[in-house]
Structure 1
Amino acid sequence: MLKVGLLGAGRIAGVHATAITAHPGSTLVAVSDYLPANAEKIAAQYGCAARSTEEIIADPSIDAVLIATSTDTHSGLIEAATSAGKVVLCEKPVDLSLERACACLAHADKTGKPVMIGFNRRFDPNFGALKKALEAGEIGKAELLSITSFDPAPPPVAYVKVSGGIFRDMMIHDFDMANFLMGAAPVTVAATASSIVDPEIGSVGDFDTAVVSMTYADGRIAVIKNSRRAVYGYDQRVELLGSRGLLQAQNMLENTVVKSTADGVTGAKPTYFFLERYMPAYAAEWAAFVEAVKGGGSMPVTLRDGVDALAMAEAATASAKSGGAPVRVDSV
């Protein structure tokens, strides 16, 4: 049985606590948070102990930690946990600073302890099926990838101020999905971005609407579209054109009922937000982590994958702030 400590007790930590306790191969033994009351709430709900982060990391009986704290703490906690001999699953991104993330990668490599980054969308059944169809050669060679990711409403400006910006906070999921599907990182990234949903987001130096185009060494192209506002729900789609066909992963809907009348044909909206859309993916992500730890295999999403996605976010940020000029990923 894998004994797990949960660092962080916010909304996403609750999702992870559910996955940990539901899996037959893991048990949640302790939780911490900078607000003790939050940790105590999770502890009471899931029957574990509320302890300090330092105590959890230092406890030799705890095998693994799941880091669901604020982004600016991720690298330091990864380093502390791996130094203490623990395996780690850490929420994205690795850090707000690419330089700091690279230092974290070097540190973790020296400890030899595996680290998995929480790009949960790789474990979504629909995207997984698309990936399998691609690998099976069903559409030939991938040539043009399009990823759509629209949130139903923008986050509070207080969150935006500490998020690292739309490319590090939101689009980083899509950067990783592009790497997952294309099998490589792009050579160049060009970003066009603006703040048209909420002027306050622009006033703190961020964007709420962005389009990124990426080119690969072999000529392939990928396009990512992000918006902080889609009034109809959480829009999550992938389309991949290949040399012999097209693969599409469509939205998950609130229900499958379609009404057809003389007035037209209507159906349900997409599920409202990530909790509804990606709960199965979080459970599958944790199951893959446990399997990798117990089987001694490599992590399905590595710390290097996290650094690669962050480098793309850095390149996109630089491109957007320079007016959309392409930026080489290796230059950042």
Structure 2
Amino acid sequence: MHSLIASPFLEQYLLVRPGSRGGALLPKDRYEELLVHNPAQPAPSWLEEAVRGQWDDLDITGKPAREFLMVRQPSTWGYCRASWEINLKCNLACKMCYLGLKVNSGMPLDDKLKCLEIMAEAGVLWLQITGGEPTMDRDFIPSYRAAHKMGMLLTVSTNGTLLWRENLLRMFRECPPYRVTVSMYGATKAFYEELTRREGGWDLFVQGMNAARHAKLPLRVSIIVTEDNAHEEQAMIDLCRSWGAEHHVYTNMTLTIYGGGEVLAAQSKEHLRARKPFTGCNAGHIFFHTDPHGLVSICKIGRDDQISLPHEGIQGLARLGEIADRLMLRTGGCSGCSLSGSCTVCRPLAKHFQEAKAPLASYCQHGIKKAG
């Protein structure tokens, strides 16, 4: 199993290590040298020095390169990141869940592996595996292992309630993740379970977090603040700090993937934050999103005009850039707005909110008067 990956990344070349946040830039000639290096021979001396400088706990001296190094092949497709909803089911029933209907459906394992192979061929280095609750999926472990073997750095987005399972912990030891992002819904049993509507959910969450911390998983906690648990915001932050876990606070809810706006009622009006001005992104050009059926869209929000990876293969991605450009240019329900030329809201996001008939203040940043 590889412990180092040399890979193209956009116009650069990286040396990275699964389970590590650190890495190093490789000059093009060094990367090309590794491409043709005999894997039965020890690594070049310059690589040994680079590894010592970046990871002092990793000793590759004199070892055949095939024992620790994977060299990713160049890709003509130009993608570097992707996200993948492996399923749409969950063991919690959160009031503000963006899934809407929780449907237990998806692809067989063979199609999942085919999609992962296409992602790797397209150049994807960073892959986020999400759901639903991804660790519930019957194919999560073989899919994760396959993606790791293909040389992808993996982030798992989870509610943490199953992280205590030994089969998961063993897999993470053998195939370290880049990050495990855990959603947090309360600081006490009563309010966690009121929001998640799962009796015993708090105990599973704490058990999972304790196991993950003991295993030294690279944790980041997403603190979800709603009307039900807003008074526990500081307590959640304090708990994350006591755990030594990175954390970020989220207060603005996302519409369901089916366009339902009912989840907005769960927001705490006192805690809502102005959305960051949208200045453009490369969705569909350097990254993409894949749903449980292998349907690719430019991102999690802009799911129009999807491409089926199982049926079209990698050639289907040739249409994704044009789809992205078209979705970013449309004005949708804002076609009559005199300020549309200076809009600072993502167009797919605005259309999503408009179709849900959400309040204008939920997404529009024009005409909002500042206090003072």
Q: Which has the larger radius of gyration?
A: 2
Bigger share in helix: 1
Q: Which has the higher contact order (CA 8 A, sep 6+)?
A: 1
TM > 0.5 fold call: no
TM (normalized to structure 2)? 0.27
